[in-house]
């Protein structure tokens, strides 16, 4: 029957080429609706060069090299200026000689190496909790953890600006998903009052530092709500680890809270920790459950041991040299203050590593990024769907290596180029409107 079925399927494929054509064209139509595609396509018509996928020729620090030219760089996660540190390079070289460049298998079945356990222990100790699990991907950490832990009888209450990985994890879980207004604890409480009792289990999901706006949630209030309404709490510290607190320990240190008041401390390892992957830190019972069941861990190859070694060494450097954290915080506050002094809008940013300059139009953001690039400044436009339509911006990532002169140079250039970018876009719109009227 299998052979006959395959034959029939093949015959049908031969007899109905229109079906294959329809499938392909359907994909192309779907692809054409991608916001980034539209930005690039429209920009090309208007004479804008594609700002995406430019190739950097060495480690991206406060400056970077593209096509042999040095640029001021505001698009790197190297918040603490630790990436490419000689101690990390030496540790990775030594680890590569012992373990190679791959874990070789899922950690469950043959990929476990000492650096994995050592890194997990280090992060559990950092957060003052019992245990930790390291995933090979930061995005998959959120997707797989939420998708595995919660089901159709449960509820996930997440901030309206929660990262894509958190939203995708909530969708995968099949739990009822409730999005509350960004950083609005009153809205969260009203939602909990109305909906919590309808569900078996619930979790509140927020970020320690929001990746697009650079602001911080009222974590003590959220903890109070999670206790009152019997919820778990996940805090995504992708951008707050290494950034908040006197020594970079994140939101826990910033607010001086009991670490066990948060059920799941999550962070990526690609920002301040100079590697890739992610982790969940929490109770031993929770971590064991994830290690034996979370698909993103069980069915994925383990993190390369050399990456675990690199992240551990970065953590050691951060804790040994808290002045890096202080420099980052100081330059971030300077950025916000200087931007305000020359009339630039930094939105809700509080001056911690991530600071947007609000523009409000995707094409203006693209042309502004292009203009700055021509002046030796690399900063990327952020448009829908990464942010809501009408909140388009340039997003500046700041580093302990940036200086006040770097900031003045960049922001003075932004101030000069914004009206020029608006003029290009407005002229194009007027011309198009005129041509449409003539037609």
Tell me the catalytic residues: 211, 239, 271
Contact between residue 76 and residue 397 where contact means Cβ atoms under 8 Å apart: yes
Neighbours of 420 (CB within 10 A): 12
Q: Are 115 and 88 in contact (CB under 8 A)?
A: no
DSSP label at 174? T
φ/ψ of 386, rounded to 5, equals: -65, -30
Asked whether 302 and 105 are in contact (CB, 8 A), the reply is yes
Q: How many CA atoms lie within 13 A of 238 on its CB side?
A: 25
**Angstrom distance (rounded) from CA 160 to CA 162:** 6
In contact, 159 and 167? CB cutoff 8 Å: no
Cβ-count burial of 103 within 10 angstroms (0-12 exposed, 13-18 middle, 19+ buried)? buried
What percent of the residues of the chain are helix, what percent strand, and what percent coil, each to the nearest 5?
Answer: 50, 15, 35
Return the DSSP state at 100.
Answer: -
Rounded Cα distance between 337 and 388, Å, is 25
Query: Using alpha carbons only, how large is the chain's radius of gyration in Å?
Result: 24
Which residues in 158-173 are b (16+ Cβ under 10 Å) and which e?
bbebbbebbbbbbebb
CA distance 254 to 281: 18
From CA 55, how far away is CA 363, in angstroms rounded? 22
């Amino acid at each position: 029957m299998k052979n006959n079925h395959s034959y029939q399927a093949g015959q049908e494929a031969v007899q109905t080429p229109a079906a294959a054509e329809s499938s392909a064209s359907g994909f192309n139509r779907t692809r054409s609706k991608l916001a980034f595609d539209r930005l690039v396509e429209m920009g090309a018509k208007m004479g804008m060069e594609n700002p995406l996928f430019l190739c950097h020729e060495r480690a991206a620090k406060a400056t970077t090299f593209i096509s042999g030219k040095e640029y001021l760089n505001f698009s790197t996660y190297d918040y603490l200026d630790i990436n490419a540190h000689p101690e990390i390079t030496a540790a990775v070289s030594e680890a590569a000689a012992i373990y190679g460049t791959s874990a070789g298998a899922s950690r469950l079945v043959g990929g476990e190496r000492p650096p994995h356990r050592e890194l997990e222990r280090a992060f559990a100790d950092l957060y003052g909790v019992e245990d930790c699990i390291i995933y090979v991907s930061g995005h998959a950490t959120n997707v797989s953890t939420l998708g595995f832990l919660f089901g159709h009888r449960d509820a996930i209450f997440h901030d309206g600006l929660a990262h894509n990985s958190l939203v995708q994890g909530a969708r995968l879980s099949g739990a009822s998903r409730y999005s509350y207004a960004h950083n609005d604890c009153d809205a969260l409480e009203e939602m909990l009052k109305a909906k919590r009792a309808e569900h078996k289990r619930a979790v509140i999901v927020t970020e320690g530092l929001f990746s697009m706006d650079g602001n911080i949630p009222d974590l003590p209030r959220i903890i109070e709500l999670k206790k009152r309404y019997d919820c778990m709490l996940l805090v995504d510290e992708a951008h707050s680890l290494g950034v908040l607190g006197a020594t970079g320990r994140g939101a826990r240190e910033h607010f001086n809270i009991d670490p066990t008041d948060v059920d799941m401390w999550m962070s990526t390892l690609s920002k301040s920790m100079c590697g890739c992957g992610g982790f969940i830190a929490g109770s031993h019972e929770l971590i064991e459950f994830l290690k034996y069941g979370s698909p993103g861990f069980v069915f994925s190859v383990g993190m390369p041991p050399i990456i675990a070694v690199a992240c551990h060494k970065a953590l050691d450097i951060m804790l040994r040299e808290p002045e890096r954290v202080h420099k980052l915080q100081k330059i971030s506050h300077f950025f916000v203050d200087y931007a305000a002094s020359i009339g630039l809008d930094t939105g809700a940013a509080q001056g911690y590593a991530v600071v947007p300059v609000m523009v409000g139009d995707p094409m203006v953001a693209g042309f502004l990024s292009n203009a700055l690039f021509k002046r030796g400044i690399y900063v990327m436009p952020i448009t829908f769907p990464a942010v809501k339509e009408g909140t388009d911006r340039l997003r500046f990532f700041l580093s302990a290596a940036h200086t006040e002169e770097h900031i003045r140079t960049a922001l003075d250039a932004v101030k000069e180029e914004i009206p020029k970018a608006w003029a290009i876009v407005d002229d194009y719109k007027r011309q198009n409107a005129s041509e449409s009227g003539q037609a």
